[in-house]
Amino acid sequence: MKRAAGVCLVLLGFAGCAGEPEVRSYELQGQILGIRADDGEVLVKHGDIEGFMPAMTMPFKVQDDALLEGKKPGDLVTATLQVTDTEGILTTLTTTGHAPLDTSPPPEMMTPLEVLTEGDPVPQEIFFDQDGKARPMASFKGRTVALTFTYTNCPMPNFCPLMDRNFAEVQEAVQASPELGHVQLLSVTIDPAIDTPEVLKAHAATLDADPSVWTFVTGDEANLSRFAALFGVAIVRNENDPIDISHTLRTAVIAPDGTLVKSYSGNAWTPADLIADLKAVPAPVN
């Protein structure tokens, strides 16, 4: 996904019929770097998408798997990106030529080889929360933590904004369920250059985040990248363009003793999935 102006995938926007989401369509031009046919996903290095996001490299879901047939890395393409408040998909994908890749496609877009597995202790990274207070991972010990990685300027509605929406729904369940009273939601930014404590606090307010339940943290960029990599999050930053960030998605459940319980890859999980897994973790013994 990546940041639009300011990381993690219509004709002009128009309002649909009553009850239907607003749909916006944009033309995209770029080069295919990789394809995940089983996931219906294509990794594209694209130019500026006028009115939506700057040039960057990111994965896009396709509306129909048939759009990927015959496509290969190096293909130059044009596409239609259709965006609503909750998703962004390619509805057309047309090959216009082919050129040698001038950059190596990120492996697995871009999963590290070694990541934490179930039962592993989560490293004691030190963060700073939305109030500027130091919050080491140890400060969450004794609570069941649901952790995800996002950044506030992420443009694609089915990437970081979806993680925010899912966590907002989980927060409602936590507030309504005494059995989830030991749960802490933790959103870790991967864009600390922009996501200062002040920015995170304002972002949290837009989500009606309850600070007693949901914490947003930032920190040192290198440390955050290493920490994220341990969960399988890969981050690619364009050294020549600080607003160009690509990343994968991971969400994790951490037990009160600080060990990893479960990790979700991508964005297919639902709030109900996460709530069920949080309920399955034994409550801490006081």
Residue 176, pLDDT score: 96
- Fold equal for 24-104 and 108-280: no
Give the residue ranges of DSSP H helices in the chain: 160-176, 197-206, 221-230, 271-280
Alpha-carbon distance of 73 to 191, in angstroms, equals: 28
Q: Does domain 108-280 have CATH number 3.40.50.20?
A: no
Per-residue model confidence (pLDDT) at position 4: 39
Class of domain 24-104: mainly beta
Mean pLDDT by runs of 10 across the 286 residues of the chain is 36 36 85 85 85 76 92 93 80 94 55 75 94 95 96 87 96 96 96 95 98 96 90 78 75 96 91 97 82
pLDDT recorded at residue 96:
95
How much is the pLDDT for 227?
93
3-state helix, strand, coil in the chain (%, to 5): 20, 35, 45
Name the nearest CA neighbour of 144 among 181, 189, 187. Answer: 181
- For tokens 């399955």, what's the residue? 280
Domain boundaries, the chain: 24-104, 108-280
Q: How many CB atoms lie within 10 A of CB 216?
A: 28
Q: Specify the pLDDT at position 60.
A: 85
